[in-house]
């Protein structure tokens, strides 16, 4: 592969296996000799800041901070691959389903989404086929999880965003992602 930087986004509802796939894909690419950077979910980056904030921030403020973190993550890297655990596509879906009724923020996201995702070479989508595991930080409803998934798919369709769906076990998803990347990078490089 001759390209300097490949950006890989992983999208899906909560507990769909994004973080697990991101780690597995990072290991597989590193085992193959690639330089890989894994960029964690924006909320995980912000959580230490949010936990110290007194009084707590409003949901509007948190959504603006999340938007800023998504955009900051587009910074360049010296690595050959950057894997993003979550993309702005996920954020747009969560905003539509559970976010504040802030039409200005939603309009800004809709305007930014095509530009933002234009930075990505691959956007992998993980459907909710893995049983919901409760970790205390996420809503516990399968319906909520399905609503988020449906919003991701609808938003992708509305903006003509190509999602590469990955199904199966972690190993099957990782193998299919690698095979897809090899095929598409051959097509893009040659």
Q: Which residues contact 79 (CB under 8 A, 6 or more apart)?
A: 5, 35, 36, 37
Using one digit for the tens of pLDDT, what is the confidence trace for 66-97? 999 999 999 888 888 999 999 999 999 988 88
Using one digit for the tens of pLDDT, what is the confidence trace for 12-39? 998 888 999 999 999 999 998 999 999 9
Q: Which domain does 38 fall in, by range?
A: 6-189
Has this prediction a pTM greater than 0.75? yes
What total of structural domains would you count in the chain? 1
- Estimate to the nearest angstrom the gap between the alpha carbon of 7 and the chain centroid: 11
Mean pLDDT score of the chain: 87
DSSP state, residue 88: H
Using one digit for the tens of pLDDT, what is the confidence trace for 123-182? 999 998 866 665 655 556 788 889 999 999 999 999 999 999 999 999 999 999 999 998
Asked, for residue 97, whether it belongs to a domain, the answer is yes
Q: What CA–CA distance (Å, rounded) separates 73 from 40?
A: 9
- Domain CATH for 41: 3.40.50.300
Asked, for residue 1, whether it belongs to a domain, the answer is no
Of the pLDDT bands very low, low, confident and very high (cuts 50, 70, 90), residue 98 is confident
Instruction: Of 104, 122, 86, 109, give the one whose Cα is nearest residue 12.
Output: 86
Note if the bond before 65 is cis, omega within 30 degrees.
Answer: no
Asked, for residue 136, whether it belongs to a domain, the answer is yes
């Amino acid at each position: 592969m001759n390209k300097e930087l490949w950006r890989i986004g992983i999208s899906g509802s909560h507990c769909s296996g994004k973080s697990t796939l991101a780690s597995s894909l990072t290991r597989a690419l590193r085992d193959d000799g690639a330089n890989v950077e894994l960029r964690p979910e924006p909320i995980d980056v912000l959580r230490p800041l949010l936990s110290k904030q007194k009084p707590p921030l409003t949901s509007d403020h948190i959504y603006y901070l999340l938007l800023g973190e998504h955009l900051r993550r587009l910074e360049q890297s010296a690595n050959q691959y950057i894997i993003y655990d979550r993309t702005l596509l996920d954020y747009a879906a969560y905003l539509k389903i559970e976010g504040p009724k802030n039409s200005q923020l939603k309009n800004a996201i809709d305007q930014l989404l095509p530009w933002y995702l234009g930075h990505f070479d691959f956007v992998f989508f993980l459907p909710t086929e893995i049983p919901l595991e409760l970790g205390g930080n996420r809503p516990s409803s399968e319906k909520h999880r399905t609503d988020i998934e449906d919003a991701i798919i609808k938003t992708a369709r509305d903006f003509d965003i190509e999602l590469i769906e990955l199904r199966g076990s972690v190993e099957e998803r990782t193998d299919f992602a690698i095979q897809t990347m090899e095929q598409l990078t051959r097509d893009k490089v040659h």
